[in-house]
Amino acid sequence: MLAINANLARCHVCGKVSHLPSEGAFACPRCHTPLHFRTPYSVSRSWAYTLTAAICFVPANLYPIMNVQSIDKSFTSTIMSGVIDLAQNDMLPIAIVVFVASIAVPLFKLIGIIVLLTIVQRGKPVKRQQAIRMYRFIDFIGRWSMLDIFVISILVSLVSFGQIASIEANIGATAFGAVVILTLLAAESFDPRLIWDLQDTEDDRTEL
């Protein structure tokens, strides 16, 4: 039995579970925050963040993330070119870290969130346990998004600086930062309780 069927709602601020009337507004008796059975506009906001992140993901990987200028040379570097340079300079472990943190993780998060949103919007019975495991895994790898902050620093280490050199962030760096922030917001906006609202008789028999 779901809590929503018993008119029970959990406050997203203090965590107190309260009985919510079927009609009319109701506030948490402890912190006076408005209560809802499900987070309002969760799917819409998560779709908006996800689609925007998907759009930013393209220039983040196609455009240079930095311009390097020194006395004798000047060049630009993209994320993928940085990964290739690391691998070619016998720094394969670092190249793998950069690739996973800056390309694989954001891409997997985008695909995973899109799959979950599609499942919820279809409203058809699903294997809820599998969907919840996917959400928890997406939430878990989101903690590793801080690795993305070090990507540019690692790429800078590839440069053989002269006595005078300057580095300027390019449009790729801006798009890259936007992808990190937007994927985090998309995961936070998604209400996983929507998955449990999808009934699956086979799952119900297993749980019982």
| Residues 178, 125 within the same domain | yes
**pLDDT tens sequence across 95-118:** 888 788 888 888 888 998 998 898
H runs (alpha helix) in the chain = 42-62, 79-88, 92-99, 105-122, 128-142, 151-156, 171-189, 193-196, 201-207
What proportion of the chain, given as a percentage, has pLDDT over 70? 70
Mark whether 9 and 74 lie in a shared domain: no
Tell me, yes or no, whether 6 and 47 share the same domain.
Answer: no
Q: Which residue has the higher pLDDT, 71 or 27?
A: 27
Span 88-97, pLDDT tens digits: 878 788 788 8
Pair (21, 109) in one structural domain: no
State the Cα–Cα distance between residues 9 and 3, nearest whole angstrom: 7
**Any residues with CB less than 8 A from the CB of 18 and at least 6 apart, and which?**
8, 9, 10, 11, 26, 28, 29, 35
Judge if 65 and 157 occupy the same domain.
yes
Domain count of the fold of the chain: 2
pLDDT band at 76 (very low <50, low <70, confident <90, very high): confident
Residues 11 and 76 reside in one and the same domain: no
Q: The pTM is what?
A: 0.74
- Predicted confidence (pLDDT) per residue in 28-50, tens digit: 777 877 777 777 788 899 999 99
| Residue span of the structural domain in which 189 resides | 41-207
Q: Quick one: 12 and 105 in the same domain?
A: no
User: Which is it for the CA torsion 4, 139, 120, 189, positive or negative?
Assistant: positive
* pLDDT score for 167: 65
Kindly state whether residues 97 and 168 are assigned to the same domain: yes
Q: Are residues 127 and 160 in the same domain?
A: yes
Same structural domain for residues 184 and 109? yes
Q: For 150-193, what is each residue's pLDDT tens digit?
A: 655 655 555 544 445 566 667 888 888 888 889 889 988 888 87
